[in-house]
Structure 1
Amino acid sequence: MQEDFLHYIWKHRKFSTVNLKTSDGEAINIISNGQHNINSGPDFFNAQLRIGEQLWAGNVEIHIKSSDWFLHNHEQDKAYDNVILHVVWEHDAEVFRTDNSVIPTLVLKDIVSSSALQNYKQLLGSRGYWINCENNFADVDDFTTTNWLERLYFERLERKSLEVVKLLETSKNNWEAVLFKMLAKSFGLKVNGDAFLSIANSFDFSILRKSQAKALSIEALLFGQASLLEKDVEDIYFKNLQQEYQFLKQKFGLENTSVVSPSFFRLRPNNFPTIRLSQLANVYATHQNLFSKVIEAKSPQDIKDIFNVGTSEFWETHYTFTKASKVSKKIISKSFIDLLLINTLIPLKFSYLKYQGKSNEEAILDLILQIPSEKNSIVDKFNSIKKVSKNALQSQALIQLKTEYCDKNQCLKCAIGNKLLNR
């Protein structure tokens, strides 16, 4: 039994209200259950009840056992002095306010709806399933699922916006610098994301600005900070990078002692850090005011036009500094740009519009709904149960659903879980 289930029972009155009585036998008439409080303090605010002949207005506290009142030290907390009813599953102790007055108790154990209890046990009692509602997920109507996924997507964006705010604080409120750091992490993908972010954090963004006139300077800055120019390679491009980096290092007092070295291990050649850093450098060499262009973009095609760049010429015949390969123009792919949109550019746009105090849901929806669904183990599994992911909004929402609700057994806070409980 979970306390959240008792919240659900009380909130939706999933119990018999006929001849309702306190543990002392006084009649209870519920006028209003109150407002559910998800923060600290009593569980429901501003309830209205008639207990016996007395009309009460105040708060309701809910516990599995009455004695949990003392376990949580509510008898010493004046915030609970306005509790007018203690709702419990089992009554094993009388409870008191700080002035020692007794609080009436309602016991739910014998009056809960049998269907609600059965649905709860079926949902939360599942064992060995990928998600608790695996056998019933497909039964939930499309309207409920679609609306819940949209809400989950914006919930996920809100969480990501907190990360953007932290970056903004450490970047002296420079949105261009925030974009650079977020792009650096995204260009590093999972394997080198942290390494690329450490590179971006190892120098002030103004240094990149001052080096933006040519791609070689930005490449030298990024490769040098990543410690990729420390070997002795007999190639004119490599020598030029070394020379440019030594100039930048002396001019700006660069240090890279805190930089995490990027890895080549188990990566496809197109995702080698050398290729991704060169592409990132060329993005900034091509666009002087990248942030404003990203914010003004109104469609995925606008973004694709911005990021339709490749590497420097050297990398068309190389993946590393030391070994030549077949000629291949390494233009940033459409699928990679979609990932940038999903994980970096849309969260940044959402955060910036929110920062500006502007309504942003419509602009965000216009972008995310045009991007195809991601393909990963979570999305694939949900789709095998029921085809639910047709675009990137839904695939992102499913990740949020699995990680923040299913994995944490938060079925009672999930619209799909509630729908199944209400069957």
Structure 2
Amino acid sequence: MAEDFLYFIWQFQYFRNTDLRTEEGETLRVIHPGYRNPDSGPDFTQARLLVGNVEWVGTVEAHIRAGDWLLHRHHQDRAYDNVILHIVWEQEAVVLKRSDGSTIPTLCLSQRVDRSLLYRYQILLAESGTIPCAGRIAEVEPLRRTAMFDKVLLQRLERKAAGVTSLFRNAGQDWEETTYQLMASAFGFQVNAEPFEQLSRQVPLKILHKHRDNLLQLEALLFGTAGLLPGTQPDDYQAALQREYNFLSVKYQLAARQLPAHSWKWARLRPANFPTLRLAQFAKLLTYKNSLFSLLIETDESAALLRHLQVNPSAYWQTHYRFGKPSDTVLATLGQTSAENLLINAVLPLLVAYSQHKDQPEYRERAVALLEQLPAENNRITRIWQDLRVPIQTAFDSQASIELYKNYCQAKSCLSCQIGVNLLKGFSKTIGI
């Protein structure tokens, strides 16, 4: 038994509500159960109850055991002074009081809930499939599923936007610097996101902007501070980078900021994802003459954004994945899938964060529209949904399916999910609740 189930039966009133009485013996009628509170504080707000002959308006708190009220120290928390009912599954011989000493009515629900409903809930959680409702998801109306995808997609965008907002504050509320650091982390493509992010903090954008007309100097600043310049047997290109870095690192006092070479990960990476090539591509992107931030937030079409992101690095990196090791088959241009990944994981959260900062919802709407223009991602999680015959057609669908799987399905938070609630509500009708 989990508190989620208690929230579910109270929210939808799936219990026998005839001759309701509190544990203190007073009659009880539920005028409105209230609204589920997703934030801290009591579990339901704006509830309306008739206790005895008095109508109460306030909050409702739910626990498995009555004593959990004391365990969680709610009796010492003024935020719980407005609780008008404590609902529990197991009653205990405790008298609950608010911080002012007044008694809180308690309602025990364990004897009022059909055991078949509890059994079905337990079966749902015990499912060993890829997701708890794998065997029954086909029963859910597409409209319900779509509504849940919409909900979790917005949650995902807002959560990522919160990270961008934090970056914005740490970057001195400079959107250009924020964009630079955000894109640097994204160019690490998860495996090398951390050293890319560290590098962007060690070499501020204002330094790079002074040299964006000279790609060799940009590369020298980045490769040198990244700790990736080879120390022995340099070819002409490497030697030129080293000379530029020796001069610029003194000019900008960068030597002490150099990352250790072991920060970068190479194992099990395809050559196209080697950090050297990614860094060369990133350097080329930074040669863009105008505001990169403005470009990314003002361009409406995904195709145009992708063209800007699919940069060609300098000539050396047309034939190399690593320093000193030429190759005849270098995929030097940032690929379509990689550019889409940058768009999804960096540009769109930037749009949503800027939308919130400026209180201009059109930027968030543009982010959602761009997701609908992009093809669905192909990964382990999206394939799980496709195997269950859930259509994953656009990046909107794939991002929503990833969020749903990670934050609801894996945690078995079925009763916080409209799909799981819909399945149990449908079952409750068959048993006459």
| TM range, smaller chain | over 0.9
Out of 40-49 and 1-10, give the one that drifted further.
40-49
Aligned equivalent of 1:326:
328
Aligned equivalent of 2:113:
112
CA contact (8 A) 1:31 1:49 kept: yes
Aligned equivalent of 2:346:
344
Give, in angstroms, the shift of residue 65 of structure 1.
1.8
Q: CA RMSD in A?
A: 2.0
Cα distance in 1 for partners of 2:101, 2:201 equals: 58
Using a 3 Å threshold, how does the CA distance of structure 1 residues 237 and 78 change in structure 2: closer, same or farther? closer
Aligned equivalent of 1:368:
371
Aligned equivalent of 2:166:
166
Using a 3 Å threshold, how does the CA distance of structure 1 residues 183 and 84 change in structure 2: closer, same or farther? closer
**Equivalent residue of 2:356, what SS?**
helix
Q: How does 1:70-219 map to 2 (within 5 A)?
A: 70-97=70-97, 98=99, 100-114=101-115, 116-124=117-125, 126-219=126-219
Using a 3 Å threshold, how does the CA distance of structure 1 residues 182 and 74 change in structure 2: closer, same or farther? closer
Out of 98-107 and 133-142, give the one that drifted further.
98-107
Residue type of the partner of 1:310? N
**Equivalent residue of 2:325, what SS?**
coil
Using a 3 Å threshold, how does the CA distance of structure 1 residues 260 and 153 change in structure 2: closer, same or farther? farther
Aligned equivalent of 1:293:
295
Aligned equivalent of 2:393:
390
Give, in angstroms, the shift of residue 179 of structure 1.
1.4
Using a 3 Å threshold, how does the CA distance of structure 1 residues 289 and 61 change in structure 2: closer, same or farther? closer
Tell me the TM-score normalised to structure 2 length. 0.91
Aligned equivalent of 1:304:
306
Q: Per-residue displacement from partner, 1:20-63 (whole Å, max 9, x unpaired)?
A: 22234432222122233333333223322223333333332222
Cα distance in 2 for partners of 1:39, 1:387 equals: 31
Using a 3 Å threshold, how does the CA distance of structure 1 residues 291 and 61 change in structure 2: closer, same or farther? closer
Residue type of the partner of 1:363? R
CA contact (8 A) 1:34 1:59 kept: yes
Using a 3 Å threshold, how does the CA distance of structure 1 residues 84 and 267 change in structure 2: closer, same or farther? closer
CA contact (8 A) 1:222 1:277 kept: yes
Cα distance in 2 for partners of 1:260, 1:379 equals: 36
CA contact (8 A) 1:75 1:95 kept: no
Give, in angstroms, the shift of residue 325 of structure 1.
1.8
Cα distance in 2 for partners of 1:57, 1:307 equals: 55
> Which of 259, 267, 270 is the aligned partner of 2:269?
267
CA contact (8 A) 2:376 2:394 kept: yes
Give, in angstroms, the shift of residue 232 of structure 1.
2.5
| Pair 1:229 & 2:229 matched | yes
Using a 3 Å threshold, how does the CA distance of structure 1 residues 353 and 422 change in structure 2: closer, same or farther? same
Give, in angstroms, the shift of residue 219 of structure 1.
0.7
Cα distance in 1 for partners of 2:360, 2:243 equals: 46
Give, in angstroms, the shift of residue 255 of structure 1.
3.0
Cα distance in 1 for partners of 2:290, 2:48 equals: 62
Cα distance in 2 for partners of 1:363, 1:62 equals: 40
Aligned equivalent of 2:316:
314
Give, in angstroms, the shift of residue 337 of structure 1.
0.8
> Which of 378, 391, 414 is the aligned partner of 1:411?
414
Q: How does 1:351-362 map to 2 (within 5 A)?
A: 351-359=353-361, 360-362=363-365
CA contact (8 A) 1:212 1:288 kept: no
Cα distance in 1 for partners of 2:415, 2:22 equals: 26
Out of 315-324 and 155-164, give the one that drifted further.
315-324
Using a 3 Å threshold, how does the CA distance of structure 1 residues 217 and 79 change in structure 2: closer, same or farther? closer
Could you tell me which runs of 5 or more consecutive residues in structure 2 were left unpaired when the two chains were aligned.
Answer: 427-433
Give, in angstroms, the shift of residue 73 of structure 1.
3.0
**Equivalent residue of 1:50, what SS?**
strand
**Equivalent residue of 1:314, what SS?**
helix
Q: How does 1:32-47 map to 2 (within 5 A)?
A: 32-47=32-47
Using a 3 Å threshold, how does the CA distance of structure 1 residues 42 and 296 change in structure 2: closer, same or farther? closer
CA contact (8 A) 2:306 2:343 kept: no
Using a 3 Å threshold, how does the CA distance of structure 1 residues 57 and 195 change in structure 2: closer, same or farther? closer
Q: Per-residue displacement from partner, 1:163-202 (whole Å, max 9, x unpaired)?
A: 1112112211121111111221222222211111111111
Give, in angstroms, the shift of residue 398 of structure 1.
1.3
Could you tell me which runs of 5 or more consecutive residues in structure 1 were left unpaired when the two chains were aligned.
Answer: none
Q: Which runs of structure 1 show a deviation greater than 6 angstroms over 4 or more consecutive aligned residues?
A: none
Give, in angstroms, the shift of residue 257 of structure 1.
4.4
Cα distance in 2 for partners of 1:56, 1:234 equals: 80
| Pair 1:238 & 2:241 matched | no
Q: Per-residue displacement from partner, 1:91-143 (whole Å, max 9, x unpaired)?
A: 2224232454443322211112455323322222x143322212112221111
Give, in angstroms, the shift of residue 80 of structure 1.
3.5
Using a 3 Å threshold, how does the CA distance of structure 1 residues 263 and 408 change in structure 2: closer, same or farther? same
Residue type of the partner of 2:393? K
> Which of 276, 279, 284 is the aligned partner of 1:277?
279
Cα distance in 2 for partners of 1:259, 1:19 equals: 71
Using a 3 Å threshold, how does the CA distance of structure 1 residues 272 and 94 change in structure 2: closer, same or farther? closer
Identity %, equivalent residues: 38
Cα distance in 2 for partners of 1:256, 1:339 equals: 33
Tell me the TM-score normalised to structure 1 length. 0.93
Out of 25-34 and 378-387, give the one that drifted further.
25-34
Give, in angstroms, the shift of residue 78 of structure 1.
4.3
Cα distance in 2 for partners of 1:328, 1:62 equals: 60
